[in-house]
Structure 1
Amino acid sequence: MNASPRPSVLANMSLELRAWNIRRKALLMGEVQGQGYVGQALGVADVLATAWFHAMDYRAEDPEWEGRDRFYLSIGHYAIALYAALMEAGILPEDELETYGMDDSRMPMSGMASYTPGMEITGGSLGHGLGIAVGAALGLKRKGNPAFVYNLMSDGELGEGSTWEAVMSANQWQLDNLICIVDFNNQQADGPSREMLARGPEAPKWAAFGWHAQEVDGNDLAALVAAFDTARALTDPKPRVIICNTRMCKGVDFLEAREITHFVRVEPDEWAKALAKLDEGKPQ
């Protein structure tokens, strides 16, 4: 397996600007429908920027290229964030942005593999993504394909039994081509994740199951780059997990300042204000 870190796919733009672009596209799509999981999209943008523009190998002109690294979105309601990343990567055309969530759009509000180039799996029934990723990683190893499988899952999925079955299976099969990314924003539908079934610390739990575990600030690009590089470069025959502590609504201060819940409501007159606040912090 080629486990050495690789340069950005498109190195002529900073990761900071990539993340800003992802946030902005997600807000524009949310404005189209007047709703959407924009809190999660703003929070996870740095993670997506690092994955797509630093760590992963793919061909924008050929999303089905057999040698590509696979990116599995277990959290189907985060689709708005992944669509923004796919547009930024050149896999989805930006002129489709205004079709988000509409009839016949290739960008439904919950991710579906049958509709969208670059959307590898249909997510949304939470707790299943990592199991699918385990199967894919095992299949790639048996075919001698050196590609990595990345699985982005939510902290809420840590309370699903199927997640831990997949965790055990990945260790059993020594899936060193599997990198799980946990977006830990401490919010799920029933309340703060730490008050449900995600009482920390998380990294020791994964390590106890035989994984190489890292926990980082998911809004710190330098920390994310180092974590992704480490995960790819390891030579131990074990799966890898990066637990990313993120802040929902990151980049839009008046949304960050609210009492955050699983679904952040943005009022009709606030979309333009949110874009303006984001624009104030545009990287140079």
Structure 2
Amino acid sequence: MLTADLATAAGYRRLQRSIRSEDPDRAVEHLRAMSTDIRLRVLEMIDRAGLGHIGGDFSVTDILATLFGAVLDVDPEHPGAPGRDRFILSKGHAAASLYATLAYCGYFPQSELATFTAPSSALNGHPNRRKVPGVETNTGPLGHGLPVAVGCALGARLRGDGSRTVVVLGDGELQEGSNWEAAMTAGHQGLTGLCAVVDRNRLQQGARTEETVGLDPLAGKWDAFGWEVREADGHDHAALLAAFAPATTGRPVAVVAHTVKGKGVSFIEDRAEWHHRVPDQDQVRAAVKELTR
């Protein structure tokens, strides 16, 4: 199992404290820089490995940066601390973005990102909790993350430790019925320590969600299941910070984060074929130019 990069972890904790204490504009500036770093590393990982899910990785990046940069109460040096907040990436195929985020925070050395999907690497194509610190549960088969998150939130209530559980779901993933069983349970239980974030990029493998199995009105569905619903631009860090605030109505929180698949690179954005397409070398160079301009 990978172990913490102590120097990076210490720097991350200082950065997180700074972001939380700064004026909003300065905090957003830091989160934008973190998002750019994550996207560049994901691009490098997928280029080296020759596989990955770059569209979904890029759509969820700003969500991950905001959560780990300013919201979650976690410690990379002690990833199993009993009172920690729990984060679950239910859309496990976006593992590269999660790994890049965890490495940025010091859960393990950034040099390990070069091993993404290599034989015997801890960094599998889908996250594995037995190999990667910061991964709370194995994900990949869609529809499993929210049920596990409900269990985590129930456990936190029983312990009374005040910890939060945040789960990020793909929108196409919501076509799995297990999500709605879990959503119904969370609403019934009034799990105020639970936050479900939907990466609403409106694309899934091969087609648009509304052409496959329509989800709209998505916010209305969560509301009907007993959740406090918030909608936000999933690439606006300030809007995300507001949306990730604790529950105020005695219900779990559902954040519908409106995103663009492949955000940040014009020729990847909002195109279904980039669900798991790999850029060639010219495209890599063009993508780096766009991400760093």
Fold conserved between structures, TM > 0.5: yes
Is 1:206 the counterpart of 2:222? The answer is yes
Asked whether 1:157 is paired with 2:173, we answer: yes
Counterpart of 2:71 in structure 1 is 55
Summarize the Cα distance change of 1:188–1:210 in structure 2 as closer, same or farther, 3 Å threshold.
same
Cα distance in 2, alignment partners of residues 16 and 261 from structure 1: 23
Residue number among 250, 253, 257 corresponding to 1:244 in the alignment: 257
* Separation of aligned partners in 2, 1:8 and 1:195: 42
In structure 2, runs of 5+ residues without a counterpart are: 1-13, 20-26
Cα offset, 1:51, TM superposition: 0.7
| SS of residue in 2 equivalent to 1:180 | strand
After TM superposition, list the pairs within 5 Å mapping 1:1-284 onto structure 2: 9-11=16-18, 14-229=30-245, 232=246, 234-256=247-269, 260-280=273-293
Shift of 1:203: 0.8
Alignment-mate amino acid for residue 16 of structure 2: V
Instruction: Assess if the C-alpha contact under 8 Å between 1:55 and 1:228 holds in 2.
Output: yes
Identity of aligned residues (%): 38
Deviation larger for 264-273 or 137-146: 264-273
1:3 paired residue number: none
TM-score by length of 1: 0.90
Q: How many residues align?
A: 271
- Give, as a single letter, the amino acid of the residue that structure 2 aligns with 1:42: F
Aligned partner of residue 274 in structure 1, secondary structure: helix
Cα separation, partners in 2 of 1:149 and 1:258, compared to 1, 3 Å: closer
Aligned equivalents of 1:253, 1:226: Cα separation in 2: 27
Q: TM-score scaled to structure 2, two decimals?
A: 0.87
Which residue number corresponds to residue 4 of structure 1?
A: none
Is contact 2:42–2:96 with CA below 8 Å preserved after alignment?
yes
For residues 150-191 of structure 1, give each alpha carbon's deviation from its aligned partner in whole angstroms, at most 9, with x where no partner exists: 011110121111100000000121111000011111111241
Does the CA contact (< 8 Å) of 1:9 and 1:57 recur in 2?
Answer: no
1:157 is paired with a residue of what secondary structure?
helix
Residue 107 of structure 1 aligns to a residue in which SS? coil
Structure 1 stretches lacking a partner, 5+ long = 1-6
- Assess if the C-alpha contact under 8 Å between 1:176 and 1:238 holds in 2: yes
- Distance between the aligned counterparts of 2:276 and 2:114, measured in 1? 21
* Stretch deviating more after TM superposition (189-198 or 103-112): 189-198
Q: Contact 1:69/1:147 (CA < 8 Å) preserved in 2? A: yes
